[in-house]
Amino acid sequence: MIIKEDFEIKNLTTFKIGGKVKKIYFPETQSEFVELIRKNSSALVLGNCSNVLISSNGYNGEIILTTELKQFEIRGTKVFASCGVKGPMLAQKTAEEGLSGLEFMIGFPGSIGGEVYMNAGAHGQCISDSLTQCCLFDKNTNEIVYKKKDELEFDYRKSLLQCGQYILIHAEFDLKKAPIEDIKSLISRNLEFRKNIQPSLANPNAGSVFKNPDNDSAGRLLDKAGVKAFDLPRVRVWDSHANFIVNKGDATSEDVLTLMVMMYNAVKKQYTIELKPEIIFLGDKTKKEEELWNIMYH
């Protein structure tokens, strides 16, 4: 297992932002992963770092990264995937087997762990639709437990994992058989949509910035509030979709938070709606960063 100290994490995040991490682990097997969590209960567990903003101030603690936990298996319509398996790869592999249900993952850079944690979804599909069971590590008891879908408290961008007690080890899905041509056609449409509307990772970003409020779209509200015109020296709002922030080069976490607050205030002023961040902010926040974050999470 690779272990690194004073590790510059920004190049592993899709935002290309983040300072030095005191110590970082890259477990390669589930047993290594479980042993690490047992011994380092305070360590942050991260996947593909695609939905996170890590402070440019770094993190004076330990991080366990699941990117090497890539094991998966397909048995009939059942799919078993470790937490570090990348969503787009699993979408492709299941499509080749004529299995439908994970097509929405094709445009997500995230891993299974992060997608279950957030109950990720797009194009009318979400991960909880086809998930049947999860193998979890319970930090309170230091034991491995299994929980079925109805115990996982899934809701829009929510799951039981967000309470902090449980860490996903692997997830189990039951997909539906469908003609391969139909599945691949849906995947192509999803990719085309992403290409036309959302920034590619050549323009570093962390996906949707804000969650959709009830019965509305954050992108629509932001667009109507005029935020596409917001262009700061190192970050800007994406011109094809108002719910994305792009790192223009050497942006810091404070740059992103400053722009997020501008976007948040624009919608609040015009619609009296307070958007909630979808991006998770981690690391050793500066006083200014705490202030900015607390405006959106007061």
Instruction: Give the whole-angstrom CA distance, residue 184 versus residue 247.
Output: 32
CA dist list (Å): 191 to 45, 49, 164, 226: 29, 21, 33, 27
Q: How many CB atoms lie within 10 A of CB 53?
A: 25
Instruction: Give the whole-angstrom CA distance, residue 152 versus residue 165.
Output: 12
| HSE (side-chain half, CA atoms, 13 Å) at 54 | 27
Q: Residues in the chain, how many?
A: 298
**DSSP, res 126:** E
3-state helix, strand, coil in the chain (%, to 5): 35, 30, 40
Torsion of CA 215, 156, 204, 33, to 10 degrees: 180
Catalytically active residues, by annotation: 157, 208, 278
List the one residue out of 290, 121, 144 whose CA is nearest residue 211: 121
Instruction: Give the whole-angstrom CA distance, residue 135 versus residue 146.
Output: 5
What are 269's two structure tokens?
Answer: 């002023």
Beta strands in 14-88 (DSSP E): 20-26, 44-46, 52-54, 59-65, 72-75, 78-82
Q: What are phi and psi of 293, to 5 degrees?
A: -65, -40
DSSP class per residue in 215-273: TS-HHHHHHHTTGGG-B-SSEEE-TT-TT-EEE-SS--HHHHHHHHHHHHHHHHHHH--
Instruction: Give the whole-angstrom CA distance, residue 248 versus residue 271.
Output: 29
